[in-house]
Amino acid sequence: MTTCDVVIIGAGPYGLSAARHLRTVKGLEVRVFGDPMSFWGQNMPVGMFLRSNWTATQIADPEGKLTLEAFQSATGRRFTLPVPLGDFIHYGLWYQSQAVPDVDRRKVVHVETDPAGFRVHLADGEALCARRVVIAAGISLFARRPVEFDHIPAELATHSSVHRDFSKFVGKRVLVVGGGQSALESAALLHEAGAEVEVVAKASRIHWLQGFVSKALHHRLGKVVRNLLYAPTDVGPAAVSQLLARPDLVRRLPRALQDKLRRRATRPAGARWLVERLKDVPIHLRCAVVSASLAGEQVQIKLSGGTVNLVDHVLLGTGYKIDVSKYGFLAPELLESIRRANGFPILKAGLESSVPGLHLLGAPAVWSFGPLMQFVSGSHYASRSLLRAITGREHGASQVS
């Protein structure tokens, strides 16, 4: 059986960036498994825009060469803010072709401990040994489906992540549940596709990110003050953004404060470009789904306040709940050994779990390193930290700049 130094599970922004960093080390054999950028290509709707700003949309590269600008000049593709999903996927695939051309698309189906470290089994039956395993497998398995919809067939109430194309909903009554970006952007796309859409959200108001007032304020603040208040990582409100851009500091804060910052930075919010697109879509606030039942081929929804709605489809923009036990490829004894809190692994420096040599990047690292870890801009910190832990080396160039 072949043995390598590091197996990376996942070829999204985190897995690719980690591979790019580790491969700067001579003699370190790194294998990467996964379908490149598949979450972005299969679980997000066509027509979507990224909410993160330009600098925060760059996948970390220790040499600073694989930037959005370099991608544009290499391919001739032109786009500005907000970055369209299609362009970001092409950027990610271009990054992969430059940095990790030998990504192995086979799925990892089982990871167990082995005297050499870990044994990694692939979907076609092949297995290999690795001294370390880096899990960068994303959040697709963590889609949250509220219990009220347990008895509703999957085809009548779907999570927002299962849709690429909303054209099949033309003329249908669709209720969107949720007040965050996924719910609101799906509602806009459904409306534009010709569906009759309504949104229900528990919140008392929709938080519009960088609303028009704050945009004007931004201009008045001037570049220097703006840069003092907002880190280029683009996660969190003024000043808090600078703190969240420093995960080593965040992890030393009292737990209650960390939780508070996380809730504040990732509270449901919509991007300002949706305001105009949603002006004809009814949005019901302070409104929760109390129950859902089947009514012929439709779904009857009871809302708090007593309203009853009959709809053809319910779209659940209800987000994700991290629970690493849903990574079905982890052998039970390995999972048992991972210290966890609320479904998140508790990680130390190098994003290493309580199982030596097992690292988890991306959203599972949020509990230990803060909300930056669930965004592309967190790939800079995660990859550098991983490189440092594995090799003791630091590559200074990989900073969001």
Ligand X SMILES: Cc1cc2nc3c(=O)[nH]c(=O)nc-3n(C[C@H](O)[C@H](O)[C@H](O)COP(=O)(O)OP(=O)(O)OC[C@H]3O[C@@H](n4cnc5c(N)ncnc54)[C@H](O)[C@@H]3O)c2cc1C
- Would you count residue 38 as binding ligand X (CB under 6 A)? yes
- Which of 30, 39, 190, 314 forms a contact with ligand X (CB under 6 A)? 39
- Would you count residue 178 as binding ligand X (CB under 6 A)? no
- Would you count residue 375 as binding ligand X (CB under 6 A)? yes
- Which of 24, 25, 29, 35 forms a contact with ligand X (CB under 6 A)? 35
Cβ proximity to ligand X: between 6 and 301 the closer is: 6
- Would you count residue 236 as binding ligand X (CB under 6 A)? no
Count of residues touching ligand X (by CB under 6 A) = 31
- Would you count residue 136 as binding ligand X (CB under 6 A)? yes
- Would you count residue 18 as binding ligand X (CB under 6 A)? no
CB of 300 to ligand X, least distance (A): 28
- Which of 7, 60, 66, 108 forms a contact with ligand X (CB under 6 A)? 108
- Would you count residue 376 as binding ligand X (CB under 6 A)? yes
Cβ proximity to ligand X: between 166 and 375 the closer is: 375
- Would you count residue 182 as binding ligand X (CB under 6 A)? yes
- Would you count residue 138 as binding ligand X (CB under 6 A)? yes
CB of 83 to ligand X, least distance (A): 8
CB of 322 to ligand X, least distance (A): 11
CB of 108 to ligand X, least distance (A): 4
- Would you count residue 12 as binding ligand X (CB under 6 A)? yes
Alpha-carbon distance of 265 to 268, in angstroms, equals 9
Alpha-carbon distance of 383 to 381, in angstroms, equals 6
Residue numbers of the site for ligand X (CB under 6 A)?
9-15, 33-36, 38-40, 44, 50-52, 107-108, 136-138, 140, 182, 329, 362, 374-377
